[in-house]
Amino acid sequence: MKAWDDFALRMKQLGDLGHMGSLMGWDQQVMMPPKGVEARASAMGTLAAIRHERVVDPVLGDLIETLTEAELDDERKMMVKRVKRNRDISVKLPARLVEELAETTGKAHPVWQKARDTDDFSIFEPHLDNIFKLLAERAEHLGYENEVYDAHLDLFEMGATTADVEPVFKRVADEIHPLLDKVFKTDTADWNLPETPNHLDDLLTYSRDLLARFGYDLDAGRLDLAAHPFCSGLDSGDVRVTTRLNAKNPKECILATVHEMGHGFYEQGIPDKWKGTSIGKYVSLGVHESQSRLWENHVARSRSFWEGEAPRASKAIAPWAGLGADDYYRAANRVDPESYIRVEADELTYPLHVILRFELEIAISRGELKAGDLPSAWNEAMQKHLGITPPGDGKGVLQDVHWAAGLFGYFPTYLLGSIYSAALFAKATQDLGGETAVDASLAAGRFEGLLGWLRDKVHSQGALHDPSDLMAAATGLAAGSQIDTAPYIDYLKKKFGDLYGI
Amino acid sequence: MKAWDDFALRMKQLGDLGHMGSLMGWDQQVMMPPKGVEARASAMGTLAAIRHERVVDPVLGDLIETLTEAELDDERKMMVKRVKRNRDISVKLPARLVEELAETTGKAHPVWQKARDTDDFSIFEPHLDNIFKLLAERAEHLGYENEVYDAHLDLFEMGATTADVEPVFKRVADEIHPLLDKVFKTDTADWNLPETPNHLDDLLTYSRDLLARFGYDLDAGRLDLAAHPFCSGLDSGDVRVTTRLNAKNPKECILATVHEMGHGFYEQGIPDKWKGTSIGKYVSLGVHESQSRLWENHVARSRSFWEGEAPRASKAIAPWAGLGADDYYRAANRVDPESYIRVEADELTYPLHVILRFELEIAISRGELKAGDLPSAWNEAMQKHLGITPPGDGKGVLQDVHWAAGLFGYFPTYLLGSIYSAALFAKATQDLGGETAVDASLAAGRFEGLLGWLRDKVHSQGALHDPSDLMAAATGLAAGSQIDTAPYIDYLKKKFGDLYGI
């Protein structure tokens, strides 16, 4: 069928443009010398323009229309649907608005950095104000049914609505608050791992070995260093993980490696048969985050895993000689009473950091909060959720790059990922013979059962199903079921209850 | 002027597409994991298709026509001329031919590798035959005046003709042959540097330090390892040099680093004011090679340089402790009596390797030689030029990737580069106070005078002048003058005469 062939070629080319963008992004953060910034920005701009041109091309619109009415199998139907969604978003947004947003965020970035580093919100405020105005305009172009925030959220977690997410997050906060009150009463100052000032190379070597032992295919990927760790999937055969080294907080390197490896497993597991198609990729940021959180929290922060791993870590990193499983387990799960920074947060305070941002974003999207109100609103929310006040706006409202970059509606996907990961891990545990069997595997350093289960239920599905349907099917619920928070809350209660004796 | 603005944007976007292609190429050879091959090939194909689409776009043709007749300053005139040249080439070539060539060379590559590794020309012959047929067809589309080979040559060295190059190369061969006869009578088996099996890391560190001491800006570039060293200029602020480590032939790492650094200096020296334009880049492969050869041969293979450098090298690389300037100088200039491989050749046999290929290519382009005639023609030419016969076709006619990749007319630029480099170095020496002064600078590790001269005469000129005009102006001749071989021949005679006492 000619229409299909034309469409398939255009779809493949859009995928290839994505490949170029991913490579430029990875290179920029990992390899590019400092003076390469300007040329890279120019090339990224041209790539975005070319991509936009090709996405909104009316010929593609006609092909989509023809194919939407044609007899296609389920996979092809979904390929058309996924391209159509992206095209609809691009068509709805006026070129002028897209350019203005790119320009405004481009100018805002260095100002945000300076504001953060000098604790001076006032210089950033006018920029943030402009960004919020443009984002509000964008939401009107995208459209929504009841709640303006839905237009933002849907960009990052396809199909999610405020009405779905808000009660879920509220339930999570209500369960964590009383847990935290008790946890903060325990003195855990000595739970941290010894620092490793002269063993950073060993830490990186150990992390690379760990990746390989988890079964990560290093012929189809890499591990490098980056200031802010991330994972970039150029193709299932080329998935690049990054981590960072911090002598004062060495566990961060291990946890970041495992977190990004979880993302990487997802990308490596996308089936070859869908290469070059719109379903040959991850389905949503929330589902992506479920994969990273699962390996980070349910494996690398578990007691069982450290039973097997402790001797290896203690041998590889000289300052850790003699440490046992409990030492690593406690260090990995120490709750910091002064948890100001989201990206450094432990597993128990992390959700509250996300919920705080989610609540502020809803208020901003409704026009109830302006940019200038944010520093005080932020600090009030920190008191409410964590009982602390940041020492300055740099460690408060200015800590994240997201708003400066125009990423609004993105934060909730982090917590959705944690909730999903607990539901997936609970079902996997059941399917793999129960808790005792899974614990024994983790302690024995055998991960292929768990990885195989995730390959089967999640990775191999690509973007063939909508996120909520994928999650429902994987966890054994009916399609379209609500997000199930019970496994997540049970998990947190049990783990931190045991650890802190509460 | 609207036409100019439209043209300038399209020119900038073509430059940005070049940036993406360079990055993908660099990454493929330096960073990409093995399983990334397929996706990268697809992305490269899409990039080529998009580039072609934009180059042949009739709107660009109309803009070029309008601007060719408009009042423009010299720089803008040349920007239009350079884009026109590239567009004319693309327009002349039927899409079918370009695709067929890409497909044929794509399939030929693994066969060539196997043929080379197993000394079996017969499996490669049908592929090479197809490639030569397509290349002949391409030449007819491109057009030429007297000699079909000119159509090939002009693609790589704009404006060069067989009639110009043939007598020059003949003269070089005639001068080198008698020199070689004498050189081969000297026993130089003990001129090699000690091997460095356990010091490869030290060699790389030393090479990186050397780059920095030469004045290479590592904030605007990188040094990495690659199987076949190359330099990739993504932008004057991002110029990536590669080298390779060979414990059995450690000097190769140093010479490759300096060679690629010479290319890199050229790219780093392109003026910022021409960023995003068609003159903000190197002008030809021959001129590019003149820069690499100048630093490799006239500096890193000079006696003066090693006077200053010997103590540093002997300190950095343990197996070289105690070696003096003469040891390094001799090692760098040892002529190998069994010089089968072009890329490993010394300075005296190298030109003959190029001339041999040039002569064969002319015969092939004239239809006097077919693919099947090449193994015997190659071996005859090796006897004629070097007095040796390769032990097999893998170290003979199959050694280079060029023909398998459809690069035909490319080889001569290597020798043009050597000839240009000698002319440039002679003029620079004169302008910088004469031989004694320049030797003293090199011995003192002070390179800014020489680099400044090259910046001024070559790098800062970008592609503003045609290659022959650029070379004439830089060496003080009238525009359009013939290539001057005297400095090159004088240099070889003096250097190898002194070294070998002839």
Residue A488: its pLDDT value, please? 97
Report strand pairing: A231-235 vs A238-243: antiparallel
Which of B17, B22, B26, B35 best tests the A interface by mutation, with the highest count of A CBs <10 A? B35
Range A450-467 average pLDDT: 98
Range B160-187 average pLDDT: 95
| Nearest by CB: A35 against B23, B42, B238 | B238
Percent of chain B's residues with pLDDT above 90 = 95
Residue A478: its pLDDT value, please? 84
| Nearest by CB: A24 against B12, B23, B217 | B23
Residue B456: its pLDDT value, please? 98
A272 at the B interface (CB within 8 A)? Answer: no
Cβ within 8 Å, pair A16-B46: yes
Report strand pairing: B221-225 vs B238-243: parallel
What does the alpha-carbon distance between residue A181 and residue A184 come to, in Å, rounded to a whole number?
6
- Which amino acid type is present at position B460? S
Could you list the active site residues of A? 260
A91 by DSSP, 3-state: which?
helix
- Does the pLDDT value for residue A482 go beyond 80? no
Answer left, alpha or beta for residue A244, where phi above 0 means left and psi between -120 and 50 means alpha: beta
A42 at the B interface (CB within 8 A)? Answer: yes
Residue B255: its pLDDT value, please? 97
- Does the pLDDT value for residue A481 go beyond 90? no
What does the alpha-carbon distance between residue A145 and residue A147 come to, in Å, rounded to a whole number?
6
Cβ within 8 Å, pair A46-B12: yes
At A419, the pLDDT band (50, 70, 90 cuts) reads: very high
B45 at the A interface (CB within 8 A)? Answer: yes
Token look-up 């919920």 returns A355
The CA distance from B31 to the nearest CA of chain A, in Å, is 8
Q: Write down the pTM of the prediction.
A: 0.95
Range B133-143 average pLDDT: 98
Which of A6, A14, A50, A211 best tests the B interface by mutation, with the highest count of B CBs <10 A? A50
Sort out which chain B residues have CB atoms less than 8 A from A272's CB and list them. Answer: none
Residue A95: its pLDDT value, please? 87
Residue A284: its pLDDT value, please? 97
Residue B467: its pLDDT value, please? 95
Q: Sign (positive/negative) of CA torsion A434, A435, A439, A442?
A: positive
| E strand or H helix that includes residue B325 | helix B325-332
B220 at the A interface (CB within 8 A)? Answer: yes
A241 φ, ψ (degrees, to nearest 5): -100, 145
Range B330-359 average pLDDT: 95
At B304, the pLDDT band (50, 70, 90 cuts) reads: very high
Token look-up 């990775």 returns A459
Q: Sign (positive/negative) of CA torsion A336, A342, A343, A348?
A: positive
- Which amino acid type is present at position B14? L
Range A368-390 average pLDDT: 97
| E strand or H helix that includes residue B114 | helix B95-118
Residue B483: its pLDDT value, please? 81
Taking only residues 278 to 297 of chain B, the set having a beta carbon closer than 8 angstroms to any beta carbon of chain A reads: none
Q: Residue B326: which residues within 8 A CB-CB, separation 6 or more?
A: B303, B306
Which of B13, B22, B52 best tests the A interface by mutation, with the highest count of A CBs <10 A? B13
B35 at the A interface (CB within 8 A)? Answer: yes
Sort out which chain B residues have CB atoms less than 8 A from A32's CB and list them. Answer: 238
- Does the pLDDT value for residue A283 go beyond 90? yes
Torsion of CA B360, B364, B367, B372, to 10 degrees: 100
Residue A218: its pLDDT value, please? 97
Q: What is the 3-state secondary structure (H, E, C) of B141-155?
A: HHCCCCCHHHHHHHH
Range B110-134 average pLDDT: 97
Instruction: Say how many CA atoms lie within 13 Å of A154 toward its Cβ.
Output: 18
What does the alpha-carbon distance between residue B413 and residue B397 come to, in Å, rounded to a whole number?
19
Sort out which chain A residues have CB atoms less than 8 A from B217's CB and list them. Answer: 35
Q: pLDDT per residue over B434-492, tens digit each?
A: 999 999 999 999 999 999 999 999 999 999 999 999 999 999 988 777 788 999 999 99
Asked if A449 and A440 touch (Cβ cutoff 8 Å), the reply is no
Nearest-by-CA chain B residue for A54: B50
A48 at the B interface (CB within 8 A)? Answer: no
What does the alpha-carbon distance between residue B463 and residue B476 come to, in Å, rounded to a whole number?
18
The Cα-based distances of A10 to A56, A188, A284, B14 in angstroms read: 12, 56, 22, 20
What does the alpha-carbon distance between residue A97 and residue A93 come to, in Å, rounded to a whole number?
7
- Does the pLDDT value for residue B125 go beyond 90? yes
Asked if B164 and B483 touch (Cβ cutoff 8 Å), the reply is yes
At A502, the pLDDT band (50, 70, 90 cuts) reads: confident
What does the alpha-carbon distance between residue A467 and residue A473 come to, in Å, rounded to a whole number?
10
Range A158-165 average pLDDT: 95
What does the alpha-carbon distance between residue A206 and residue A221 come to, in Å, rounded to a whole number?
17
Residue B480: its pLDDT value, please? 75
**Mean pLDDT for chain B?**
96
Q: pLDDT per residue over A486-499, tens digit each?
A: 999 999 999 999 99
Residue A30: its pLDDT value, please? 96
Tokens of A482: 């609500």
What does the alpha-carbon distance between residue B124 and residue B144 come to, in Å, rounded to a whole number?
29
Tokens of A136: 């509000």
Residue A86: its pLDDT value, please? 97
Report strand pairing: A221-225 vs A238-243: parallel
B58 at the A interface (CB within 8 A)? Answer: no
At B217, the pLDDT band (50, 70, 90 cuts) reads: very high
Q: pLDDT per residue over A250-279, tens digit each?
A: 999 999 999 999 999 999 999 999 999 999
Question: Hey, which residues does A242 pair with through a beta bridge?
Answer: A224
Asked if A360 and A378 touch (Cβ cutoff 8 Å), the reply is yes
State ipTM.
0.94
What does the alpha-carbon distance between residue B67 and residue B65 come to, in Å, rounded to a whole number?
6
Residue B479: its pLDDT value, please? 78
Residue B357: its pLDDT value, please? 98
Instruction: Say how many CA atoms lie within 13 Å of A92 toward its Cβ.
Output: 16
| Nearest by CB: B237 against A17, A35, A238 | A35
